[in-house]
Amino acid sequence: MKKIPVKYGIDTFIIILLPFLFIISESISNEKFSGILVSFAVLAFVCWMVFGIQYFLDGQFLIIKNIFFGKTKIDINEITKVEKTSNMLSSPAPSLTGRIEIYYGNKSIVISPNFFEEFKNELLRINPNINF
């Protein structure tokens, strides 16, 4: 099983962090220390979900693991097309830049591999019929 590096964007981290910073600052100014504790607990959980995303190539399968949503296993031979996208929908792609949409069967999924060209070459090695 080969691990594919995931692209984590600072933009994603900022989007996650900003609301919590506001809640924490309000809790401090109102001396509500329970708000601080709850905020840190929720922030830790959200970061665990987002930054726990992993991609693997295992034989002819692309495996996408997400701590919260489980595992998606895609037969690389079923992939018909891969294209760069700016789709902002929730997906196992923890970066707002460098996202790609993978089409397989009648489904698609958006991910963000850190090294797109290496990832592309690995997929094409297994299935040279993928359109990029």
Domains of the chain: 1-132 (2.30.29.30)
H/E stretch holding 103 reads strand 100-104
Which pLDDT value is given to residue 88?
A: 78
Q: Which one-letter amino acid corresponds to residue 106?
A: N
- For residue 117, the tally of other CB atoms under 10 A from its CB is 8
pLDDT tens profile 7-20: 988 888 888 888 88
pLDDT tens profile 70-126: 899 999 999 999 999 988 777 888 888 889 999 999 999 999 999 999 999 999 999
Q: List all residues 6 or more positions away from 127 whose beta carbon is below 8 Å from its beta carbon.
A: 60, 76, 77, 79
Instruction: Report how far Cα 17 is from the mean position of its chain's Cα atoms.
Output: 17
* Single pTM value for the model: 0.82
Question: Cβ(7)–Cβ(94) under 8 Å?
Answer: yes
